[in-house]
Chain A
Amino acid sequence: MSATSTKLPPLLLLHPDDNILVARRDIAAGENVELDGESFVIPAAVELGHKLARRPLAANARVLKYGAPIGSMKVAVARGEHVHLHNLRSDYIPSTTRDGADGS
Chain B
Amino acid sequence: MKGYLRSDGRKGIRNVVAVAYLVECAHHVSRLIVQKSGADDVHLIGFPGCYPNKYSLEMMERLCTHPNVGAVLLVSLGCEGFNREHLRKFIRASGRPVELLVIQQSGGTTRTLNAGLDVVKKMRAELATQSPVPMALNELVVGTVCGGSDGTSGITANPAVGRCFDWLIENHAACIFEETGELIGCERIMASRAITPELGREIEACVDKAANYYRIMGYGSFAPGNAEGGLTTLEEKSMGAYSKSGSSPISGLIKPGDLPPRGGLYLLDVVPDGEPRFGFPNISDNAEIVELIACGSHLILFTTGRGSVVGSAISPVIKICANPDTYERMADDMDVNAGRILQGAGLDEVGREIYELVQKVAGGELSKSEALGHQEFILTYKQFEPIGPACLPAA
Contacts and interface: CB of A to CB of B under 8 A. Distances in A.
Nearest to A91: B235
A48 B324 CA distance: 10
B58 interface: no
A69 B185 contact: yes
Instruction: Kindly name the residue among B224, B226, B230 whose own CB sees the greatest number of chain A CB atoms within 10 A.
Output: B230
A22 B236 contact: no
Contacts of B229: 49
Most buried by B among A1, A22, A92: A92
Given A92-B220, A96-B222, A24 B342 contact: yes
Nearest to B306: A49
B232 interface: yes
B342 A5 contact: yes
Interface string B223-238: 0101101111111100
Interface in A67-103: 68-71, 83-85, 88-98, 103
B356 to A, nearest CB: 23
Tell me what chain A mostly uses at the interface: helix, strand, loop, or mixed.
loop
A85 to B, nearest CB: 6
A75 to B, nearest CB: 14
Given A4-B343, A65-B239, A70-B235, A97 B220 contact: no
A50 B324 CA distance: 14
Interface in B239-259: 239-240, 243
A97 B234 CA distance: 13
Interface stretch (B41-49, B160-168, B211-219): B211-219
Given A24-B342, A25-B342, A66-B239, A95 B151 contact: no
A65 B233 CA distance: 11
Given A24-B342, A84-B227, A49 B239 contact: no
A16 to B, nearest CB: 16
A14 interface: yes
B260 interface: no
Contacts of B232: 51, 70-71, 83-85, 88, 90, 95, 103
A96 B221 CA distance: 10
A61 interface: no
A98 B225 CA distance: 9
A12 to B, nearest CB: 7
Nearest to B186: A68
Contacts, number: 113
Contacts of A68: 185-186, 189, 235, 239
A12 B343 CA distance: 12
Contact of A97 (B155, B211, B224, B343): B224
A77 to B, nearest CB: 13
B323 interface: yes
Nearest to A89: B233
B224 A49 contact: no
B152 interface: yes
Interface of B: 150-152, 154-155, 184-186, 189, 211, 214-215, 219-220, 222, 224, 226-227, 229-236, 239-240, 243, 305, 323-325, 342-344
In the complex, the 5 A-B pairs of residues with the closest C-beta atoms, listed nearest first:
A49-B151, A49-B230, A93-B220, A70-B236, A50-B230
Given A8-B344, A14-B155, A48-B152, 19 more contacts: A5-B343, A5-B344, A47-B230, A48-B230, A48-B325, A49-B231, A50-B230, A66-B240, A68-B185, A68-B235, A70-B185, A70-B235, A71-B236, A83-B232, A84-B232, A91-B185, A95-B220, A95-B232, A96-B224
Interface of A: 1-2, 4-5, 8, 12, 14, 22-25, 47-51, 65-66, 68-71, 83-85, 88-98, 103
24 contacts: A2-B344, A5-B343, A5-B344, A22-B151, A23-B151, A48-B152, A49-B151, A49-B230, A49-B323, A66-B154, A66-B239, A66-B240, A70-B239, A71-B233, A83-B232, A84-B227, A91-B235, A92-B184, A92-B220, A93-B220, A95-B226, A95-B233, A96-B222, A96-B224
